[in-house]
Structure 1
Amino acid sequence: MRKILINGSYAPSLINFRGHLIQQMIARGHEVHVSAPNFEKETVDRLLKMGARVHEVKMQRTGVGLAGDVKYFFQLRRLMKKVGVELVLNYTIKPNIYGGLAARSIGSESASIVSGLGYAFYETNGFKHRVVQTLSRWLYKRATTANSVVIFQNPDDRDDFIKAGCLLDRNKVRMINGSGVDTNYYSVARLPEAPIFLIISRLLVSKGVREYANAARIVMSRRPDCKFFIAGFLDGGPDSVSQNELDEWIGWGIEFLGHLDDVRPAIENCSIYVLPSYREGTPRTVLEASAMGRASIVTDAPGCRETVIQGETGYLVPVRESAALADAMLTMAEDPAMRAKMGGAARKFCEEKYAVSKVNNTLINHLDL
């Protein structure tokens, strides 16, 4: 039995993305602690019911604030010492960096899940962005030196991360197929006959929401019977779209669902799922849609391309090309039988590659638990 701390940046993700992992670790006899900022009572209650021990830490989730990040580091260090943590499992950039460094400072083992390279790795000409990028890479190199293993969800992230100098020892690399999806919870739903498109995402430029909106406008001009939905929320970070832009999209006829605690009704209501992201670790929403029997249109980008078999479970389109996305949408809209066939293939593909129990068993083996 080991004392394990799972450290994230967004409290609900401990249930949505790590809940099954927490349960599997506890079932194996480990004492599991979790940490994140801004817990709500419902999240705490659900984690306690699983058997986890919950700790809130303050963290500025978006942007760079050196004073706040230093405070976050020392909060984590105090927590780890108090609990007597033996293994820290971090995921997302700030927990990966400061969780790894804090664990090393008290002599505890740590591992990081690089679930996507994120905004700090996108190419840009902005001076501020370049400063953030340089600092992030330097800190990542320090943190991964402290990790026993560094876990990636796709080979592009692994290769680009190493190329950027963020990981010096390739022997630490381990691979998993995303965070997995519960194929019982996300069960196959009856497919609507109408062409109804959906994206579920934070409203970030890098998630491709702008391309989705522009493609939707093109398609609606040719096929007024097509419907388009966006589920998500304005992020507030440097990559976020504005409220004014969202209002403009709504004016075009796109329906905004806002943030959804349960995305299943929205997926059930759609017939085609879309995610034109610039890059991902492994996009969970594509897996959820696949598990529910929906074909997807995603970009031929790192992390995304692994979740769709071209022409079999959906379509891959070029990054940042609204016209190509619109063409794929129109192709999907014209053929209900094809949508149904692809949706069935997507469910089977999801079961074989992304079932959460399979993914977590691999992860637990990587951690020698």
Structure 2
Amino acid sequence: MKIVLIGTVAGSLLGFRADLIKQLLLQEHQVYAFTSEYTQDDLKKIEALGAIPVTYDLNRGGLNPLSDIRATYLLSKKIKAIAPNLVFSYFAKPVIFGTLAAKIAKVPTVIGMLEGLGYTFTEQPEGLSKKTQLIKSVQVLLYKVALPQLDKIVFLNPDDPKDLLEEYSIEVKQVEVLGGIGLNLEDYPYSSIYPEQPTFIFIARLLAEKGIHDYIAAAKVVKGSYPETKFIVLGAIGKEALGALTEAELREITEANIVEYPGHVDNVPEWIAKSSVFVLPSYYREGVPRSTQEAMAIGRAVITTDVPGCRETVVDGVNGFLVEKWNPQALADKMIYFIEHPGQIEKMGYESYKIAQEKFDADKVNKRLLDILGL
């Protein structure tokens, strides 16, 4: 069979779809990997995997109807020239425009996957701005046009279909919930060695929605009672994003010894293994956060927020704790619990490891995804 995968950034395709592509090739399918943001090096890496790279134009962020219509038409021509049996698109704009292009190209089976509802569906403490509300209403309108055309729509968590399809009365043929795109667990080996000092780690872009400000506020509270506690932050500064942690703020808290910020690192699993507990106070509309899955695979207890996507990673009181969003004090209380009950760090960490083995093994997840794709 000829199978077309439509994504956006080639680096993301290589990072998160390589195992799926390998599985498809093992079944002797021909795989065409469509990307709209790429380098020549990325395209060579896709070829080295055994897939055929295809580039196309898509304005990932903007909402220009004329350029989107033109891009959809050109994309349909590229798809039609391949004449695939199946088109599988993922992320919001590829699901919308890839689906419409595949339908124009008369592809027999078209399936889309939404990995979280994203920024426009993320509740903000001060409410959504007028601009975000407008973008959201346009996005919902496009979903109403595109999603009914799909043979199946796949979500990662059970909250997203409720908050999108039910909330906006979008009729679709079939809904599947995958439960996370999974990890190659060999890359995240279990570690039962913990640091002497309680060490908490946050891994995400340093955005308000990812909970960086709540993490820092909680760290200050904990440091007041337990000054030896360590707080590590890994992630890039979101310079353009509203409410992101600024370089000046980061410098201030590192100089005050509130957090340790090593900058860009290539050995994230080693940093997780050097920590006691993983913390992600995100209120972003995640699918199922990958960083949390990585920490769980390595065997770390988790403190995260009781919001869609994040709540899929924690059984409260078993492998960690779910806390209310926008509540640094609740976060600090759970951190202090681990400091005062150090035996729970390893106990809950091992429970995380067991959950990751069961739910987030890429082999198992990809078998389920192949089943959903009818392959």
SS at match of 1:89: strand
Tell whether the 8 Å contact from 2:32 to 2:52 is kept in structure 1 after alignment: yes
Once residues 59 and 106 of structure 1 are traced to their aligned partners in structure 2, the CA distance between those partners, rounded to angstroms, is 17
Shift of 1:68: 5.2
Structure-2 residue corresponding to 1:147? 150
Match of 1:187 among 178, 186, 189: 189
* Identical columns (%): 35
Tell whether the 8 Å contact from 1:193 to 1:336 is kept in structure 2 after alignment: no
Once residues 16 and 117 of structure 1 are traced to their aligned partners in structure 2, the CA distance between those partners, rounded to angstroms, is 20
Structure-2 residue corresponding to 1:80? 79
Tell whether the 8 Å contact from 2:91 to 2:115 is kept in structure 1 after alignment: yes
Structure-1 residue corresponding to 2:278? 273
55-64 or 180-189: bigger deviation: 55-64
Once residues 325 and 256 of structure 1 are traced to their aligned partners in structure 2, the CA distance between those partners, rounded to angstroms, is 20
Match of 2:228 among 212, 222, 225: 225
Once residues 36 and 188 of structure 1 are traced to their aligned partners in structure 2, the CA distance between those partners, rounded to angstroms, is 34
Structure-1 residue corresponding to 2:362? 356
Given residue 272 of structure 1, which amino acid in structure 2 is its aligned partner?
Answer: V
Shift of 1:291: 0.5
Once residues 61 and 262 of structure 2 are traced to their aligned partners in structure 1, the CA distance between those partners, rounded to angstroms, is 23
Shift of 1:21: 0.9
Given residue 224 of structure 2, which amino acid in structure 1 is its aligned partner?
Answer: S
Deviations 1:249-285 (A, max 9, x none): 4344322344444421221221111111114211111
Once residues 266 and 239 of structure 2 are traced to their aligned partners in structure 1, the CA distance between those partners, rounded to angstroms, is 19
How do residues 132-143 of structure 1 correspond to structure 2 at under 5 angstroms?
Answer: 132-143=135-146
Structure-2 residue corresponding to 1:54? 53
TM-score by length of 1: 0.92
Structure-1 residue corresponding to 2:97? 98
SS at match of 1:117: coil
SS at match of 2:10: coil
Once residues 278 and 187 of structure 2 are traced to their aligned partners in structure 1, the CA distance between those partners, rounded to angstroms, is 18
How do residues 141-220 of structure 1 correspond to structure 2 at under 5 angstroms?
Answer: 141-165=144-168, 167-169=170-172, 171-189=173-191, 190-220=193-223
Structure 2: gaps spanning 5 or more residues: none
Shift of 1:203: 2.4
Shift of 1:343: 1.0
Structure 1: gaps spanning 5 or more residues: none
Once residues 69 and 259 of structure 1 are traced to their aligned partners in structure 2, the CA distance between those partners, rounded to angstroms, is 35
Deviations 1:280-321 (A, max 9, x none): 211111111110111111111111111111111111111111
TM-score by length of 2: 0.90
Number of paired residues?
A: 367
Given residue 160 of structure 1, which amino acid in structure 2 is its aligned partner?
Answer: D
Structure-1 residue corresponding to 2:317? 311
Structure-1 residue corresponding to 2:16? 17
Note closer, same or farther for the CA distance 1:218–1:257 as it changes in structure 2 (3 Å cut).
same
Is 1:329 the equivalent of 2:332? no
Shift of 1:183: 1.7
Once residues 235 and 70 of structure 1 are traced to their aligned partners in structure 2, the CA distance between those partners, rounded to angstroms, is 30
Structure-2 residue corresponding to 1:131? 134
Once residues 224 and 16 of structure 1 are traced to their aligned partners in structure 2, the CA distance between those partners, rounded to angstroms, is 38
246-255 or 119-128: bigger deviation: 246-255
Note closer, same or farther for the CA distance 1:160–1:341 as it changes in structure 2 (3 Å cut).
same
Structure-2 residue corresponding to 1:343? 349
Deviations 1:52-83 (A, max 9, x none): 11123344444545565445434432331333
Note closer, same or farther for the CA distance 1:210–1:65 as it changes in structure 2 (3 Å cut).
farther
